[in-house]
Amino acid sequence: MPERRTVALVTLGCARNEVDSEELAGRLEADGWDLVEDAADADVAVVNTCGFVEAAKKDSVDALLEANDLKGHGRTQAVVAVGCMAERYGKDLAEALPEADGVLGFDDYADISDRLQTILSGGVHAAHTPRDRRKLLPISPAERQDSAASVALPGHGPAAESPEPAPADLPEGLAPASGPRAPLRRRLDGSPVASVKLASGCDRRCSFCAIPSFRGSFISRRPSDVLNETRWLAEQGVKEIMLVSENNTSYGKDLGDIRLLESLLPELAEVAGLERVRVSYLQPAEMRPGLIDVLTSTPKVVPYFDLSFQHSAPGVLRAMRRFGDTDRFLELLDTIRGKAPEAGVRSNFIVGFPGETEADLAELERFLNGARLDAIGVFGYSDEEGTEAATYENKLDEDVVAERLAHVSRLAEELVSQRAEERVGETVHVLVESVDEEGVYGRGAHQAPETDGQVLLTSGEGLSVGRMVEAKVVGTEGVDLVAEPLDGSLACSEEAGR
C-alpha cells in the first residue's frame, strides 16, 4: 500500500482565514490526505496568507520562505501559497516568490487535493491573473444568492450548482456538508473556541481598504448552514463560537431580512453544549436598536461590541468614506452601556491618514478618553495599492505618521489599563483556555480570543480547558485581569466535568 500523503496548514491573519484553513483541511482529509501540525513532517506545506496590510504581507512571505527552507532537509517536498495574498496577487506573487511551488486562488479551493497532487508530482498549476471579485456577483444584494453557486466563496461550501455529495465514510471528527453550500470542515486545534463564518465579502467602499476587491461583494450564509455547523462544533466540544465576516451588521440583507441576525442569535444560543455566542466585526453606522437589544439581553449571547470606528474626526472619516463623529460614537456607547453596563467594547483606529490635522488627532484623543474601550488597536496609515486613499494628496511624512502612531499607542495602552482597573470587583464568567505550570488562564465575556487580553485565575485546582468558572476580579496586569473563583464555582465546575 502506498504511503499516505501528508499536508500541514500554516495559517496567518484573521479568524476568517482560520475558518478557511479548516475548510481546506476538511476537503483534504476527505480525499485521503493525512493532516500534520508541523510543516517539517508534511509532504506539502500550505501557507494560508494574509493580504491586508504591508506588515501582514511580510509575515506571509516570511512564513513561505521558512517553509521553503525545510525542503531538502526532511519530508517537505513542496510549499504552496493560498489565502488572501495569493488571491490578491496571483501570478505576480508567483513570479516574485519562486520559492513557492504553487500559488492558488479561491477558485482552486474546491479542487485543492488535485492541485496539491499535481504540484507534489512535479507538475505546474499556473497561478491565476488577479481580478476584482466584486464583479463576480450582481450589484443588487437580492440577486446574489441565486448567482452564488457559480462563484468560489471560501466558507460557503462547493462552488457548483450540483455539488458532489460528501463520502459516506468520512473520517471521525470531520464535519459533513449538510447543505447545498455547507463546507466540509476539520478542526485544527482542540480549543474550546471556534469561529463560524456568517458571511463573506463587503459592500462598503472605505477608501483605505482593498479587502472587497479580493474577497468580493457581501453575501450571507444561510441560517440553516450556520446553525448546522454550530451544532457540529458543539458536538466536538466547542463551548464558545465567534461569528465572523467582513461586516456582520449587514447579515441577511441579501436574504431579504436585514434583521436576520437578531433572530439567528437566540437560535444559536440554544444549541446544546454551547456556553457563549460572540459576534465580531460590527459597523457603527449600521448598528440598530434591535440588534443592540439582542446583544445585551439574550442569555449566552455575550454583550460584546467589536465596533470598527477607525477614527472620530468628521473630516477624516469622510475622507475614509465612513460616517459618524465623536459625539455620535459616544452616544452609541452610552446606549450600549445603558442596557449592559459590563459590556465589552473594542475597536481599531488609523492615525496619520492623508490630510489628518493636529486638530483631528486631538478629536480622536477626545473620543478615546471618553469611550472607555476594553481593547484598542492602533495602526499607522500606509498606502494600499488599488485603494482610493492611495491617490490622495496631502500625505503625511512617514516620520509624522510614526510619531502619531507611537503617541496614540501609548495613550491607548494607558486607557485600556484604566478600563481593566474599573472592572476590579466585577463578577466575570471565565472560559478556561489553558491550564499548565504557568497558571490557569481564560477569558471573560468582554474579551475576544487573542485580541482583548485574558484572565488569570488565582486558583484552578481540578479545572480543565473548556470549563466555565464564575470569578471575582481582584486585580489587573495591564489589560489582563486577575480573578478569584467564587465559593462553589470550582466544585460546580468539577461536578460538571464528571
Task: Using the structure block, give the residue that is written with the C-alpha cell 480549543.
Answer: 191
Q: Please state, in angstroms and rounded to a whole number, the distance separating the CA atoms of residues 366 and 326.
A: 8
DSSP bridge pairs for 376: 347
Instruction: Enumerate long-range contacts of 114-120, CB under 8 Å, 24 or more apart.
Output: 115/80, 116/5, 116/7, 116/28, 116/33, 116/44, 116/46, 116/78, 116/80, 117/5, 119/44, 119/78, 119/80, 120/5, 120/43, 120/44, 120/77, 120/78
Cell of 170: 468520512
* 259 contact partners, CB below 8 Å, separation of at least 6: 252, 288, 290, 291
What end-to-end distance do the CA atoms of the chain give, in Å? 42
Q: Please check if 492 is assigned to a binding site.
A: no
Number of continuous H segments (helices) and E segments (strands) in the chain: 15, 20
Instruction: Map residue 295 onto helix, strand or coil.
Output: helix
Report yes or no: 4 and 135 within 8 Å, Cβ to Cβ.
no
In the structure grid, which three cell numbers stand for residue 253, read together? Answer: 440583507
Q: Is the dihedral of CA 248, 250, 252, 258 positive or negative?
A: positive
Binding-site residues, please? 14, 50, 84, 202, 206, 209
Binding-site residues for [4Fe-4S] cluster, please? 14, 50, 84, 202, 206, 209
